[in-house]
Amino acid sequence: MNRKAKETVYFSLFRICAVLVVLALVVLVGYIATGGLERLSVEFLTAMPHHANTEGGIFPAIVGTFLLMLIVVAVSVPIGVMSAIYLVEYESRSWMGRIFKLTIYNLAGVPSIVYGLLGLGIFVAYLGFGFSLISAGLTLSIMTLPLMISAAREAIAAVPSSVREASLAMGATKWQTIWHHVLPYALPGIFTGIILSVSRAAGETAPLMLTGVATSLQRLPDGFFDSFMALPYHIYFMATQSSNLLATRPIQYATALVLLLLVLGMNLIAIVMRKRYRDKYKW
Amino acid sequence: MTTAIHTEDLHVYFDKNHALKGVNMDIQKNEVTSVIGPSGCGKSTFIRCINRMNDLIPSCTVKGKIIVDGQDINDDAVDVVDVRRRIGMVFQKPNPFPKSIYENVAYAPRLHGVAEEVNGKIRRRKHTKKELDEIVERSLRRAALWEEVKDRLEKGGLSLSGGQQQRLCIARTLSIHPEIILFDEPCSALDPIATAKIEDLLVDLKKDYTVVIVTHSMQQAARISNRTAFFYLGDLIEMGDTKQIFERPHEELTEQYITGRMG
């Protein structure tokens, strides 16, 4: 085979792989949409479930998942970004920094059910938060931290050292340099981390089952220490535990569709923010 | 003539590598002093000692005295942030911030504020918008960039050409009135026309500032500096009037280097 032909073959191969990925998403969304659209209505989105979830809406599950996402953003973003700053700016070469990095990589590989057990032990039992929104939210936050730290660490490390030198050489302190330069320029990458973390947290089921998700609530949680419903668990429950599996199938599809849209919506916000900062600080 | 910088037995180590071996040097005020020598001779290491930039390298140890205004700035008790405010630095590769031209120049003054004496006490306050505008204009004029950018101060610093970027970096350094400005091969990434502009600027700057420049271009050293120091393998071999160094060097090594037989 001559060089030109080889070039064509490899290029086609790469293109096919890329198309496959897009195809997977299209099929997934299409399948869920065709199954779920008929059940989707304003009532479905805003009403409480009744008759063992077979009728009514999924409003408490939407609110529950949304609140979980908010807790994850509020907890794992600041801790993740600050850890990343520490790792890059203060301990990048020391043995301590290396141990931290190794720990984070290993934490990223721990199965989510194990995080669920951890949450059950620490937040539910030891700290006495009970089976609640806060226990589940904190468990998901810990689970997404490695992802958040890795993304933020890469973004911060990608800021050229010449920029840091320029700022320091004008008499800025290390913190001023980080605050005025490193962090703003790393923001697009940090937003990527937020997208990944929140999406991962929104879709998790296993940790929720151990920390306070409810199968059915005819009301919204009355605070962070109350139990809650969540979209992924609702899908799991309707698909496996429901009394009439066939009759509830449209509900499963519609719930999956809502979860997908909620995650996409949150991601869209992060993507818009990322675009804004990319345009603002170009190098 | 007064001495701006005086170093005494200055040693630098990178782990076990002895990069600077006991340098004693006097740098005169309001002059351009160039530092020349082959790659790896310690010239950049030397000027990075003067504004304590070597502190950023964990494996680096600097021993000896660097006296500026009667104060040993290499002392551990000295505030490095204060040293760097008084001794500015322009780097090899132009490194403007990815912000607007205005913000590049206004950054350092904003950071440090204005020192004012109120009832006998020094107090710091923020600049007014008008004061900042004045500083930005004055600094850009002094760096011979104002006419080229006055209509697009809000444009990104990185939209400028390489030579303009380097002059922006100089303006940025001038914005806080350092006493001394260190240049670390400021023209090595620039074309001859941009280089000529920077050289003119350096000669002009010595009226108000003490200028120290590291360069690997001997012609540049000969063109712009009053005095020249020649480094070789971490030793200061010879320092003197630029004319003398290039026409009648006292040391064999200096002669070999400037005639191109070594380096």
Instruction: Provide the domain count of chain A.
Output: 1
Is A172 close to B58, i.e. CB distance below 8 A?
Answer: no
pLDDT of A165 over the 80 cut: yes
**Complex-level ipTM:** 0.89
Is B53 close to A176, i.e. CB distance below 8 A?
Answer: no
**Chain B residue nearest residue A93, CA to CA:** B58
pLDDT of A51 over the 80 cut: no
CATH number assigned to the domain comprising residue A246: 1.10.3720.10
| In-domain check, residue B39 | yes
| In-domain check, residue B263 | no
Mutation target vs B (from A168, A174, A176; most B CBs, 10 A cutoff): A168
| In-domain check, residue B228 | yes
Domain encompassing residue B249: 3-258
For residue range A23-34, list pLDDT tens digits in order.
999 999 899 988
| In-domain check, residue B75 | yes
For residue range B143-155, list pLDDT tens digits in order.
999 999 999 999 9
CATH number assigned to the domain comprising residue B8: 3.40.50.300
For residue range A111-150, list pLDDT tens digits in order.
999 999 999 999 999 999 989 999 999 999 999 999 999 9
Contacts of A49 (CB under 8 A, 6+ apart): A55, A56, A57, A58, A60, A61, A216, A217, A218, A229
Looking at CA atoms only, how far is residue B262 from chain A in angstroms? 31
Provide residues of A within 8 Å CB-CB of chain B: 93, 160, 162-163, 165-173, 176, 180-181, 185, 281-283
Mean pLDDT of A74-97: 90
Domain encompassing residue A103: 42-280
Is A169 close to B93, i.e. CB distance below 8 A?
Answer: no
B57: region left, alpha or beta (phi > 0 left; psi from -120 to 50 alpha): beta
Q: What is the pLDDT along chain B (263 residues), one digit of tens a residue?
A: 688 999 999 999 998 899 999 999 999 999 999 999 998 889 999 999 999 999 888 889 999 999 998 899 999 899 998 899 999 999 999 999 999 999 999 999 998 888 777 777 878 888 888 999 999 999 999 999 999 999 999 998 899 999 999 999 999 999 999 999 999 999 988 899 999 999 999 999 999 999 999 998 889 999 999 999 999 999 999 999 999 999 999 999 999 998 887 75
**Chain B residue nearest residue A281, CA to CA:** B98
Element of type H or E holding B241: strand B235-241
| In-domain check, residue A30 | no
| In-domain check, residue A33 | no
| In-domain check, residue B78 | yes
* Helix intervals (H) in A41-94: 42-46, 59-85
| pTM assigned to the model | 0.83
Taking the CA of residue A188 as centre, how many other CA atoms within 13 Å lie in the half-sphere pointing to its CB? Answer: 13
